[in-house]
C-alpha cells in the first residue's frame, strides 16, 4: 500500500487500531444522536414560537377571555405553551372567584401561582435534551483527542520494530490518529452552535411568557374591582 492510499480517509479508518476504531464509532454515534436532537429541538422551538405569536394576536385582539379559555380547554393537546399558561391561570381565577368571601388579591395571587407552575413545566419541556447537546459539545473533542493520543502512541510503538524511522513509515499511523480528533470536532461544533442558539431562543420565549403572566395578572386584578 502506498502513502497516498494510506492517507485516504477510508483506508485510515480501516487500518486504525482497535481503540481508535472504537473511539471513532462512539463519536459517530454521538454525532448522529446530537443531530437527531438538533432537528427535534429546532422544530419544537419553531412550533412553540409560532403558536405563541398566534395566541398573542388572538389574546390582544380584544376577544372574550372565556371564549379563549374554552378554545384552550377543547384543544389542550395541540395548543401552545403560552395558551396552556393562560388556561391554567384563568381556570384557577374562575375557581377562586366563585368562592364566597375570597379577597381579590388572594384570587389574583392564586391565578399567578397556577400560571407560574405551568410556566415551569413548559420551560422544562423546551429545555429538555439541551444538556445533552452541551455535553456532546464539551466532551467530544476530548474523546477525539484521546483517540488521537492513543493512535500516535500506537504508531510510535510500531517504529520500534523498524531499523530506520522514516516519515513514510510513521505518517499513516499519525494521520489515522488525527481522524479521531476530526470526528470529535465534527460532533462537537454543531452541538455547541445548536445549544447556544436554542438556549437563546428558549430564554426569549421565557421572557415573553413572563411578560404575558404579569400583564394577564393585571387584567384579572382589574376584573376583580
The 3-class SS string of 67-107 reads HHHHHHHHCCCCCCHHHHHHHHHHHHHHHHHCCCCCCHHHH
Report how far apart, in Å, the C-alpha atoms of 46 and of each of 6, 71, 72, 133, 213 are: 45, 22, 20, 18, 21
- What is the tens place of the pLDDT at every residue in 124-134? 999 999 999 99
pLDDT at 140 over 90: yes
- Mean pLDDT of the 211-223 span: 91
pLDDT at 172 over 60: yes
- What is the tens place of the pLDDT at every residue in 60-112? 987 788 888 898 888 877 889 999 999 999 999 989 887 877 788 888 999 99
- Average pLDDT of every residue of the chain: 86
pLDDT band at 159 (very low <50, low <70, confident <90, very high): low
pLDDT at 4 over 50: no
Torsion sign, CA atoms 42, 43, 46, 49: negative
C-beta of residue 129 within 8 angstroms of C-beta of residue 36: no
- Higher pLDDT residue, 151 or 52? 52
Domains contained in the chain, number: 1
- Mean pLDDT of the 28-57 span: 94
Q: Is the pTM of this model over 0.85?
A: no
In this structure, what C-alpha cell is assigned to residue 61?
385582539
Cβ neighbours for 17, distance < 8 A, ≥ 6 positions apart: 150, 151, 154, 176
In this structure, what C-alpha cell is assigned to residue 223?
376584573
C-beta of residue 187 within 8 angstroms of C-beta of residue 30: yes
Domain that holds residue 88: 3-223
- Mean pLDDT of the 186-211 span: 95
**Helical spans, DSSP H, in 128-166:** 130-159
> CA-to-CA distance for 6 and 173, rounded, in angstroms?
9
For 41-55, 60-74, 161-175, which range has the lowest pLDDT when averaged over its residues?
161-175
Amino acid at each position: 500500500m502506498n502513502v497516498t492510499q494510506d492517507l485516504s480517509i477510508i483506508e485510515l479508518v480501516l487500518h486504525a487500531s482497535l481503540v481508535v476504531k472504537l473511539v471513532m464509532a462512539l463519536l459517530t454515534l454521538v454525532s448522529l444522536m446530537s443531530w437527531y436532537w438538533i432537528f427535534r429541538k429546532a422544530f419544537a422551538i419553531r412550533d412553540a414560537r409560532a403558536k405563541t405569536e398566534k395566541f398573542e394576536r388572538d389574546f390582544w385582539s380584544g376577544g372574550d377571555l372565556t371564549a379563549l379559555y374554552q378554545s384552550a380547554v377543547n384543544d389542550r393537546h395541540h395548543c401552545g405553551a403560552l395558551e396552556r399558561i393562560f388556561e391554567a391561570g384563568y381556570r384557577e381565577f374562575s375557581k377562586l372567584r366563585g368562592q364566597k368571601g375570597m379577597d381579590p388579591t388572594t384570587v389574583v395571587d392564586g391565578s399567578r401561582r397556577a400560571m407560574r407552575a405551568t410556566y415551569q413545566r413548559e420551560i422544562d419541556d423546551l429545555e429538555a435534551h439541551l444538556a445533552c447537546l452541551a455535553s456532546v459539545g464539551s466532551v467530544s473533542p476530548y474523546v477525539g483527542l484521546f483517540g488521537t493520543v492513543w493512535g500516535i502512541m500506537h504508531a510510535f510503538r510500531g517504529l520500534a520494530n523498524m531499523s530506520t524511522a522514516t516519515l513514510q513509515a510513521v505518517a499513516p499511523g499519525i494521520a489515522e490518529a488525527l481522524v479521531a480528533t476530526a470526528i470529535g470536532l465534527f460532533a462537537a461544533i454543531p452541538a455547541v452552535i445548536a445549544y447556544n442558539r436554542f438556549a437563546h431562543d428558549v430564554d426569549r420565549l421565557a421572557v415573553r411568557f413572563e411578560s404575558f403572566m404579569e400583564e394577564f395578572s393585571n387584567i384579572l386584578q382589574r376584573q376583580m374591582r
